[in-house]
Structure 1
Amino acid sequence: MTDLLDLDSISAQERYKLLSALVIPRPVAWVTTMDAQGVVNAAPYSFFNVFGQDPALIILGLQNKPDGSAKDTTRNIDATGEFVVNLATPALVADMVGTAASYDPGESEPTALGLKLASSGRVKPPRLADAPVAIECERMMALSLSAERSILLGRAVGLATRAGLVDTATMYVDWAGDYPVARLFADRYARLEEIERFGIPEPYRPEKNGEDRE
């Protein structure tokens, strides 16, 4: 038997509960931004992924406050056009979750929690120094989908990684087993580990009539 559910017949909160619990795991963007006064904000977002290489495209799903006003991350990106996506490993989960708490506008989560910051190479907002990866981004455009939800497209312009994580001669990445965490649902996160290499070769179809491969 299969259970069928019409998503248009249930509330938005119920749709969120179902979809976020079923579409798992999801990568987490631990986003740092800076306001016009230089106050640094940090917040995690699990509606996030990389969507291409030319341009190097980062997409964030941003949520407004219940009254429809923008949160600090959205407001800062709109004002400065820049942000940094930090990736957290298991040792950093408690700090990452701590930045999701409600802070007053103009209050810095990294300062309140004692998180170390480091300068970025291409953008003004700093990165989180203990994160193994920081992707520096410039705002491209945003789509407002409702009073609650918007989608932000950013172009990745810089990358800072933990020493030894990337071989810059070959662009080979070696996580050495210490992968970023992924979001499940509610207060649940997942550790990632490589369990098997399936050894299935990439499908290949010879070029036909001068057409490129799909």
Structure 2
Amino acid sequence: MFYEPGKTAHGLPHDPFKFNNLTFDPPYVMFSANQTPSGRRKDTVANAEATGRFAWNLATWDLRDAVNASAEQVPADVDEFERARLEKDFTTVLKEPRVPMVRRSPVKFECEYHSTLRLPGNPPMGTVDVVIGKVVAVHIADEVLTDGILDVSKTQPIARCGYYQYAVIKETFDMIIPSSDQWGEDILSGLEGSSSKNKAIGKREKTESGEREGEV
């Protein structure tokens, strides 16, 4: 499935990008990269800032070897897709230039560069760049959706834990914050990541605020 947040409807009962983001209406994501052993900024950071765009690809168990290969420090002119034996798809909304995406990744975001938060550290590698991007297009393989929700048991994402250790997620469990009033229900809408409910809450709050001002 494919849609553009804020422009086109995804047709699902839940917003599918809530599983991994900074905020949801509109959706933003981030990545971070420390400097190289020679004290240079990573090529990914430089490319995002220079082009104003980047692609986010879900790292999965099936892609673990390619993820590891792509982390090797190589010259900027080396095609890391070829080096990691990955086929490319290209962004459809972001054009001129189009950005390569990992074809085998079940979830891909097209992102417009927003900003970089640069946290200073001790040389040569201590300084880190936190790059934030706005998601303008979402690509999700239909086979990893269950009842309108991205099914983690199907994507099996991996996460770096520290040292040389990684984890793979194969099962999840739900916990819903107890709620007994409208405020609590509104909080749940935020945790659900529903942009439509967020807009409805904003409209309601604006109306109620106007009514309160009229009573003064």
Separation of aligned partners in 2, 1:52 and 1:71: 25
Separation of aligned partners in 1, 2:176 and 2:61: 32
Residue in 1 that maps onto 2:35? 64
Residue in 2 that maps onto 1:163? 142
Deviation at 1:175, TM superposition (A): 4.1
Separation of aligned partners in 1, 2:89 and 2:180: 47
Amino acid at match of 1:126: P
8 Å Cα contact 2:153-2:170 kept in structure 1: no
Q: Match of 1:127, SS?
A: strand
Q: Match of 2:157, SS?
A: coil
Residue in 2 that maps onto 1:101? 72
Q: Match of 1:205, SS?
A: coil
8 Å Cα contact 1:205-1:213 kept in structure 2: no
Separation of aligned partners in 1, 2:154 and 2:179: 30
Residue in 2 that maps onto 1:132? 106
Q: 1:201 to 1:140 in 2, by over 3 A?
A: closer
Separation of aligned partners in 1, 2:176 and 2:74: 49
Higher relative contact order (CA 8 A, sep 6+): 2
Q: Match of 1:204, SS?
A: coil
Q: Match of 2:180, SS?
A: coil
Q: 1:91 to 1:50 in 2, by over 3 A?
A: same
Deviation at 1:202, TM superposition (A): 2.8
TM-score in terms of structure 2 length: 0.65
Structure 2 stretches lacking a partner, 5+ long: 1-19, 122-126, 188-216
Residue in 2 that maps onto 1:203? 178
**Partner of residue 160 from structure 2, selected from 173, 183, 201:** 183
More strand by proportion, 1 or 2?
Answer: 1
Separation of aligned partners in 2, 1:72 and 1:125: 14
**Partner of residue 130 from structure 2, selected from 141, 151, 157:** 151
More helix by proportion, 1 or 2?
Answer: 2
C-alpha RMSD of the superposition: 2.5
Structure 1 stretches lacking a partner, 5+ long: 1-48
Alignment size in residue pairs: 160
Separation of aligned partners in 1, 2:155 and 2:129: 32
Q: Match of 2:113, SS?
A: strand
